[in-house]
Structure 1
Amino acid sequence: MSCRELLKGEVKNLCDDYKNLRRWIMCRSWELIRKGEAVSFKEAIRRAWSEAKEACTKG
């Protein structure tokens, strides 16, 4: 599955699949960097994890 396909789906569908959740985190991080929404890779990873945590705790 490519990043494009992975990011089209909802992250909450990946909450029980840690391997694909981590793939989503990496894809989302690079997307944030490409769009200029994150200054560094570290910041992009942090923001992607935050988005994933929020989506997974909402239910």
Structure 2
Amino acid sequence: MSGSVNADLKSSYVAALKSAMGESDPLVRDGLLESLQMSTQGNHELDSIFQQATSPA
């Protein structure tokens, strides 16, 4: 995954992050977030979205 990310992919990724972060079971939540983070490898835009969404406010 390199280059610019289209808007639909960004929206889907953000929705997946929100869904994962809303998971009540911490083991499931952590597994989902780890998987989503691994999917950003090589794509700075998605990595930035992941960091912004998961960093403490």
Assess same fold via TM > 0.5: no
More helix by share: 1
Higher relative contact order (CA 8 A, sep 6+): 2
Q: What TM-score, normalized to structure 2?
A: 0.40
